[in-house]
Structure formats: structure tokens, C-alpha cells
Amino acid sequence: MPTSTCDNPRCTCNPCGCVDCHCGVARLGDLERRVIDILWEEPTRERSGREVTNQLPGYAYTTVATVLERLTAKGLVSRRVDGRTIRFATTGTRSSHAAQQMHEALLLTGDPDAALASFAETLSPSEADALERALGELGSRPGRRGRTGPRRG
């Protein structure tokens, strides 16, 4: 039986009726990934469909335009009409998309604490340090709980 709330902070259902909430996370096909990778190369730059197509030899303009529209519908790309040209740009970064995917995977485990512990075991020392810094910065923000537990030296 679906619950009225879920733990997904990106859930758009009101009230949430999802058994397994996947709101906010877009899955990408191979060509979608190639197209958005082109846009992520310069995330602040808008590109026309033709510019993107020119970087994908072997694909028709109409195919790439369809993919750009699908990415727009998924919320990963913004679309702006500039005269007779439609320009596209990413709505987020590669890092923010990866973070959303990691969060979805965490929610799907059924045991997020165990998954996080297992994930931590796979980190290199430099990755663990970066994660620790990020958690420390997050904990120091107003309204957030501070870190508890020992700090690595």
C-alpha cells in the first residue's frame, strides 16, 4: 500500500502515492547521454540543435532535435527561442545529475545506512577526504545538524 509521504526530497507527488518513488531522477539512453555530454562541456553556453548535431556525425538533425526535446521534458535541458533558432542549455551540472542518481540508488536499497557504509568502504583516501569536507560544510550551515563522530586525521 503506498504511503502518503516518502523520503525522496525531489518527490513531486502531493501526497506521494509512489511505492518506489523515482521523482526527480532522469534516466538517460546512450544518445541522450552523448547529447547532454556535449552540453555539459560548456554548461553556461547555449547551443542550437544544429551545433549539437554537428558534433555527432552519423546522426540526423531531426534525431538530435528529438533527443534535445526529450531532455527538455526530463528537466535536464532548458529551451529558449532566439528568433528562428531554438537554443538549448543544461539546467544543472554533470555533478548534480550524478548526485541525483546516487540518491535514487540509495533510496532503492531498502537499507540506506548499510549502503552508505558499503559505499564509504570503496572510497579512496582522497575521495573520503572530499566527502568529509562536503559533510563538514553541510553540517556548518544554519539549520543543519553538526557532524558527530570522530574526524579523520
Residue 153 lies in a domain: no
Q: Kindly report the backbone phi and psi dihedral angles of residue 85, in degrees, each rounded to the nearest multiple of 5, phi listed first.
A: -110, 140
Residue 14 lies in a domain: no
Measured at the alpha carbon of residue 77, what is the angle toward residues 43 and 71, in degrees to the nearest 5?
A: 130
129 and 77 within one domain: no
Last residue of a domain, one of 49, 74, 90: 90
Identify the pLDDT of residue 138. 83
Q: Which domain holds residue 123?
A: 94-139
29: nearest Cα among 58, 64, 80, 57: 64
Report d(CA 84, CA 8) in Å as an integer: 39
Residue 145 lies in a domain: no
Residue 42 lies in a domain: yes
Structural domains in the chain (count): 2
Identify the pLDDT of residue 88. 97
Order across the sheet with 47-48: list the strands.
47-48, 85-90, 77-82
Residue 2 lies in a domain: no
Residue 81 lies in a domain: yes
Last residue of a domain, one of 90, 109, 131: 90
Question: What's the CATH number where 44 sits?
Answer: 1.10.10.10
21: nearest Cα among 38, 36, 3, 6: 6
107 and 83 within one domain: no
> What is the mean pLDDT of the segment spanning 77-85?
95
**Highest mean pLDDT, choosing among 36-40, 96-100, 127-131:** 36-40
Write the pLDDT tens digit of every residue in 42-74. 988 999 999 999 999 999 999 999 999 999 988
Q: What is the pTM of this model?
A: 0.64
